[in-house]
Amino acid sequence: MANELNGKAIAILAADGVEQVELEQPRKAVTDAGATTVLLSIHEGEIQATRHDINPSDRFAVDKLVGDASPGDYDGLILPGGVANPDNLRLDTDAIEFLQAWFKTGKPVGVICHGPWSLVEADLVRGRTITSYPSIRTDIVNAGGRWVDEEVVTDQGLVSSRRPDDLPAFCAKLVEEFAEGRHEVHREGATA
């Protein structure tokens, strides 16, 4: 479905340490479906991606600071993983406030691997079923989420996957959810 997302703008929120494949493959999936993407980050210039969390790989140009972004300008949000990426995001007030504002809109979100750490920090997993890289299971459970070990999980517009091996299923579900759009229950259930 090459035109499923025509006219939609998708934000990708990432920082240094983002797992490259978890940024590139979802970005390609949504652009192949007709969307445009904007890379938001916590600093200007470029972010350093990694392979397997520790090996520096490519750098990616930041399109806009997350502190200058508004959830109203985008139809979907992608939160890639990598160990350092969400750890950097969770320490940034602008990133956390953006995530909290985003969840109030009811618009779909895709998060993979270690990406849910940012959602834990923003108190956005409480009462939700979500998956992630297994090492952050306890963090999700302690934050009130229900963690499951599945390839892809969808809960009120929140799409989550465990690791790069899950990217084909994650990307397909992400395009489907972004095409579907806003979720009323998602918005009503959000916490600030």
- Could you give the residue numbers annotated as active site? 113-114
Q: What order of strands is seen across the sheet that includes strand 76-79?
A: 64-65, 36-41, 9-13, 76-79, 109-112, 158-161, 152-155
